[in-house]
Amino acid sequence: MHEQAFRFGAARHLVGVVGLPAVIDHGVGVIFLNAGLVYRVGPFRLHVDLSRRLNALGYPTLRFDMSTIGDSGASGQRLSREEQVVADVRDAMELLKQQSGCSRFVLFGLCSGAQNAHSAAHADPRVAGAFFLDGYGHRTLGQRVRHYLPRLLSIASWRNRLSRRHAPASPRPAEPAFVVEPLPPKVVRAQLADMLGRGLKLDFVYSGGVARYFNHIRQFRECFGRLADHPGVDVSFFKETDHTYVFSGDRQRLITHVVQWMGRHFPITRPGT
């Protein structure tokens, strides 16, 4: 495994680290997008650990900061946010192609990174697959029933609710947040169908940390209907884990999941070391 740092992009405004296996397969490279505003190493260094594991198996990787995040600057172009995301990912694919020779790519995105991976995967034919972690999904009737019914029937829940009337609760304090409005469900569904029609392999992973909008593996079907049956779609629900995989064991489980999924859909013919 060998890692090299680059400044790249149309305006040389992007910063990233390319990881190359000892033997390059020239098949598929994996590109990591920022998880929210966390810089390219990922939450608790998830992207570093995962990219090195993939390098050891023979996959080239690139973890990079998108425009204005982490160490990357602004492109200076007048583009919409979505156009900039697509342009940044194109620059990233170009760099990884130059360094590794691979011409097809799998994107990895968590949270807003999943939304960005969705936009780029829909826009660029070189994207062959994507991991969407806590990405698109919306609240459904089933989600509300699963969320509220146990609470209505739980004595402990009522006891807590009543005691909270007397003692001030201590929920997480509200933090200022810059939130990007997600695409409407209908548009997401149509774009996913389009990607699957082009042959993309898509892996949807949801964590227990987003139970406020996704709380059961069945919910994927409630959200996206028959797309759930498509052979290019895999869905997992890690209900014990939090949104950013704070525990090492949870990160290892996710890494194992990613490695197995890559091996199934994009097998390496000449493993690295």
Query: Minimum distance between the CB of residue 67 and other proteins, rounded to whole angstroms?
Result: 12
Give the type of residue at 20. L
* CB-CB contact of 205 with 133 (8 Å): yes
Please tell me whether residue 180 adopts helix, strand or coil conformation: coil
Paired with 28 in beta bridges are: 104
Query: Minimum distance between the CB of residue 40 and other proteins, rounded to whole angstroms?
Result: 8
State phi, psi for 105 to the nearest 5 degrees.
Answer: -140, 150
Please tell me whether residue 60 adopts helix, strand or coil conformation: coil
Alpha helices in the chain (DSSP H): 46-57, 81-100, 112-123, 141-153, 155-164, 185-197, 219-224, 248-265
C-alpha span between 98 and 166 (Å, rounded): 63
Nearer to other proteins, 69 or 227 (CB): 69
Nearer to other proteins, 175 or 181 (CB): 175
Query: Minimum distance between the CB of residue 172 and other proteins, rounded to whole angstroms?
Result: 4
Residues found near other proteins in the complex (CB under 8 A)? 3-7, 11-13, 15, 17, 36-41, 43-45, 48-49, 70-71, 73, 76, 171-173, 175, 208-209, 211, 215, 239-244, 246-249
Query: Minimum distance between the CB of residue 13 and other proteins, rounded to whole angstroms?
Result: 7
C-alpha span between 202 and 180 (Å, rounded): 22
N-terminal to C-terminal alpha carbon distance within the chain: 7
